[in-house]
Amino acid sequence: GEGTVKNKSTYWLTFELEWRDFMRFQCVKHGDQIFKIEGISHRKWGWVGEGEAFERWKRGETGQPLVDANMRELALTGFMSNRGRQNVASFLTQNLYVDWRLGAAYFEEALIDHDVTANWGNWHAAAGVTGGRVNRFNMIKQSNDYDVNGDFVRLWLPQLERVPAPKVHQPWTLTAAEQLEYKVGITPFGAPAGANPSYPQKIKEAALGGMGRGEEGG
């Protein structure tokens, strides 16, 4: 009508409402298959169960700052942005190959705005078990696109508060001299803290295309 304005914001509002409804219809159509590890596509992929990788992700100690900052925010507030949810879900399922249902269950427990169809439907998509395209997000690109100065990361990871961008997004590249300068120790996971606050070395990621994914692009 007269005075109606279409812009980027209205586009994304409409898109997200349509996506919400799509997830609801998908869950109605497929029923409890949405909760099964192989998903509606019945993909017979291998997954890692509960263990160190999942616990480090859950606690925000993967050594990948963008992931860790979002997970710390979730643990402390019960909230995470839509972009953050996509990033941490991609990292858990596509970089660590951890059973996506563990991530979905943790979100169900932690989110203050949890919705069954939105949560499980989106995790289902992040895991690549819908039969559609599999997205493995590049965390450094995501960091530079959405937190170029590192303000969000430093807010939730105070150990890195003195580390400048772009190194704040790749703390595993800090030299010993830089760690002293920025008063942070990049240490093996679980190692005793030193004189300065410690941040864990980056977790070992899964090999691309492993655990049965092969040509399917997992």
Residue 27: in which H helix or E strand, if any? Answer: helix 8-30
Q: At what angle do helices 65-77 and 139-146 cross, to 10 degrees?
A: 70
Q: At what angle do helices 65-77 and 100-110 cross, to 10 degrees?
A: 40
What are the CA-CA distances from residue 189 to residues 63, 149, 208 (Å)?
Answer: 9, 26, 23
Catalytic residues: 16, 19, 47, 82, 100, 123
From the list 35, 27, 169, the residue with the least C-alpha distance to 100 is 35
> How many Å apart are CA 39 and CA 16, to the nearest integer?
22
